[in-house]
Amino acid sequence: MQDRILKRAVYAEALIPFYLLVEPDSATLFELHGGDYEPIATSDPLCTKAVHPRGRVRGMDFDSPHLPRRTFLRGAAGVAVAGGAGLLLAKAAEAQTAPRIYSCAEWGARPPADALTTLDHPANRILIHHIASANSTDYSLAHAFQVARDDQHDHMDNNGWSDTGQHFTVSRGGYRLEGRHGSLDALRGRTTMIQGAHCPGQNTNAIGIENEGTYTSVEPPEAQWASLVVFCAYICRQYGISPDEIKGHRDFYNTECPGDRLYAKLPQLRDEVRASM
């Protein structure tokens, strides 16, 4: 490990903090989520822009004194660093380009109360929501899992729905989670979607993303925003959705969701997603 160069890097174009492990023939990128480092597949388009195939780094600002080395090394353990000629990009399978999304099984979802409907077509829009929950300062993965469970309980027990209403959730720490069962497999497969329960009139065509928090008077934290950008870009790529079709819940329903401050940022979200694709 001693010959590896560890650097914190901010890739300005995407506004996403990356952490790099650079070796003679390769480099591995990590995203920081609430204190944990998660590897980004090196075939991710963002990596394509950020890291030279030989492991040299372009277009990035370094801040290595602030790198929490021990945490980084723990995050690096078990990661298969691209080897050989150090090719970082190109022909990786689609699954390897996907951002980390925690499945219902991983966060301990209850089974759906009723059979869910798989629609035989891809989604053509993304709707952005806020949960209207507390703006927690617990950015941990454990908290993100609890948010997902609480949301599912609320939707099933208080709303009487079959399962979590939305397809996906983003925590304030930047963790991405599956909401409604089957949504992740459908997204990976690209040709179907699970019928949602997040916005009347849009549930058979729009992917719903709930953001933990309340954004009527404050903006989402940076980690959540950066994660949302990556997530929306992936969904747009998978389903062939134009970033122009990233909308707010209030665009299709009489609601204040996703809050004035998050709603005001949707043009920026569309721009950043477009730049990330």
Taking the complex as a whole, the smallest distance from the CB of residue 111 to Zn ion amounts, in Å, to: 24
Nearer of residues 42 and 202 to Zn ion, judged by Cβ: 202
Taking the complex as a whole, the smallest distance from the CB of residue 270 to Zn ion amounts, in Å, to: 18
Taking the complex as a whole, the smallest distance from the CB of residue 168 to Zn ion amounts, in Å, to: 13
Adjacent-strand bridge partners of 18? 9, 31
- Per-residue three-class SS string for the chain: CCCCEEEEEEECCCCEEEEEEEECCEEEEEEEECCEEEEECCCCHHHHHHECCCCCECCCEECHHHCCHHHHHHHHCCCCCCCCCCCCCCCCCHHHHCCCCECHHHHCCCCCCCCCCEECCCCCEEEEEECCCCCCCCCCHHHHHHHHHHHHHHHHHHCCCCCCCCCEEECCCCCEEECCCCHHHHHHHCCCEECCCCCCCCCCCEEEEEECCCCCCCCCCHHHHHHHHHHHHHHHHHHCCCHHHEEEHHHCCCCCCCCHHHHHCHHHHHHHHHHHC
Using alpha carbons, select from 128, 28, 127, 44 the residue that is nearest to residue 76.
28
How many other CB atoms are there within 10 angstroms of residue 6's CB atom?
17
Nearer of residues 249 and 270 to Zn ion, judged by Cβ: 249
Nearer of residues 239 and 263 to Zn ion, judged by Cβ: 263
Taking the complex as a whole, the smallest distance from the CB of residue 269 to Zn ion amounts, in Å, to: 15
Nearer of residues 40 and 257 to Zn ion, judged by Cβ: 257
Taking the complex as a whole, the smallest distance from the CB of residue 166 to Zn ion amounts, in Å, to: 8
Taking the complex as a whole, the smallest distance from the CB of residue 3 to Zn ion amounts, in Å, to: 49
Nearer of residues 181 and 249 to Zn ion, judged by Cβ: 249
Nearer of residues 11 and 231 to Zn ion, judged by Cβ: 231
> Site residues (CB under 5 A) for Zn ion?
129, 249, 257
Nearer of residues 26 and 169 to Zn ion, judged by Cβ: 169
Taking the complex as a whole, the smallest distance from the CB of residue 211 to Zn ion amounts, in Å, to: 9
What's the gap between Cα 67 and its chain centre?
Answer: 23
